Structure 1
């Protein structure tokens, strides 16, 4: 599997964890095209301005669905989605739809640090 485009999204309580992971791995990530939901992408850009990130809408405002569309259109090869399992999310159905599409279209996705590291080893 060749990963050319990766998507990033994180729930509020996991955003700093994802940003830290991206900072630690930015040398590998520089060679990829990056799609990210708006808020998460903005936080990543602040810490890693050398990364080229296409920011979509915020997750609850349609960003999760935009990532889902990228999966359906074969424009997303992998996804890192740090999910907060301990907090309720008003847009939970969007999250489930995004994960369902990743599974349906056989797009690898990481939901925590360990799986994100494993995904990055595919590069």
Structure 2
């Protein structure tokens, strides 16, 4: 059963990830979040959201998240990548992209698509738990 939302960001995109998490903080607080070590640590520190952290990208954290995708544990991935200046120590999008496509898991690689994916998850939360009247 897909339960988690995965969050990964290259170094230059971490500030955007933090802003995104703040914008969707109420919705994300209702989700089980998993992130690579650096991204997850910043999210926890700067937003107060609880994040399960896997290894850093350079130590295979992206592959750990890929394994969760393959095991049907991830319902969406936000991977804010830096297509122009990604460094060798940063997570690789290719393996995550491939496993998301194989398993039909939404993958946002830029802020605009991330907002669409998170807005959809919020809509699903509203359907599952309608507001009290």
Report what 2:9 is aligned to: 10
Match of 2:119 among 108, 118, 121: 121
Q: Secondary structure at the match of 1:122?
A: helix
Matches within 5 A, 1:35-74: 35-49=34-48, 51-74=49-72
Contact 1:3 1:32 in 2 (8 A): no
- Kindly provide the CA deviation profile for residues 26-45 of structure 1, in whole angstroms up to 9, marking residues without a partner as x: 00111100010000000000
Determine which structure has more spread, i.e. the larger CA radius of gyration: 2
Q: Secondary structure at the match of 2:40?
A: helix
What is the RMSD computed on CA atoms of the aligned residues?
1.8
Displacement, 1:99? 1.2
TM-score when scaled to structure 1? 0.91
- Kindly provide the CA deviation profile for residues 7-64 of structure 1, in whole angstroms up to 9, marking residues without a partner as x: 0000011011111110111001111000100000000001112x22100000111100
Q: Which segments of 5 or more consecutive residues in structure 1 lack a partner in the other structure?
A: none
TM-score when scaled to structure 2? 0.84
Q: Distance in 2 between matches of 1:3 and 1:27?
A: 20
Q: Distance in 1 between matches of 2:102 and 2:22?
A: 30
Contact 2:61 2:91 in 1 (8 A): no
Is structure 2 residue 76 aligned with structure 1 residue 78? yes
Displacement, 1:113? 1.3
Q: Which segments of 5 or more consecutive residues in structure 2 lack a partner in the other structure?
A: 122-133
Q: Distance in 1 between matches of 2:110 and 2:87?
A: 17
